[in-house]
Amino acid sequence: MNCNESFYSRRLFLKSLAYSAVVASTGLSGIAKAAGNWDQESRSLAFYNLHTDEKLALTYFEEGQYVSGAVNELSHLLRDHRSGDVFNMDTQLFDLLNDLQNTLGGNKTIQVISGYRSPSTNGMLNKRSNGVAKKSLHMQGKAIDIRIAGVDSKIIQQASIAMQRGGVGYYQKSDFVHIDTGRVRFW
């Protein structure tokens, strides 16, 4: 590990501790599931796609397995709204969102800004903005940009960081949070 990597790791660790303390002070609990029967619990999500005006609320996991029809419906809702391309979304992303939703009080509708992005859509957005990664995890079905009805985006960001299960980006001007199932990092 070189000096820069060491500095980055310490900085990431300290930021993580600070965000965890903020989340704890806001009264958010349940960030980490207790060991036990989690794999047998039903898992549900409710989405509203801001670009297509579609709503979907369903159980995507029950009796110890993912419900393929439900996962397909979720992937369709999270399709690239510009091209219409559908991609099989990462079920770990759904689990992360389910846990986040439960952490924030459950039964809250997740507003979708962006789910899957085709390579052509991502390339076009990358040319328009330096905030869009060339190799975005949106193109792999592992990322989503969201708001949650009735929840401040800063709280969504803090709770997501405290979960330590992927990347979290907070876009204050546009009022949304990017969440992905890649390596743990935040911006």
Q: List the end-to-end C-alpha distance of the chain, in Å, as a whole number.
A: 22
Per the structure, the count of domains in the chain is 1
pLDDT above 80 (res 163) = yes
Question: Over the stretch 41-100, which tens digit does the pLDDT of each residue have?
Answer: 899 999 999 999 999 999 999 999 999 999 999 999 999 999 999 999 999 999 999 999
Cβ-Cβ contacts under 8 Å for 100 (sequence gap 6 or more): 156, 159, 160, 163, 179
Q: How far apart are CA 187 and CA 181, in angstroms?
A: 15
Residue 67 CB partners (closer than 8 Å, separation 6+): 58, 59, 60, 61
**Could you tell me which of 174, 72, 77 has the C-alpha nearest to residue 131?**
174
Q: How much is the pLDDT for 5?
A: 43
C-alpha–C-alpha distance, residues 174 and 144, integer Å: 14
Which of 18-22, 31-35, 112-116: highest mean pLDDT?
112-116
The CATH number given to whatever domain includes residue 82 is 3.30.1380.10
For residue 38, what are the domain limits? 3-186
Helix spans in 107-186 (H) = 119-128, 153-163
For residue 156, pLDDT beyond 60? yes
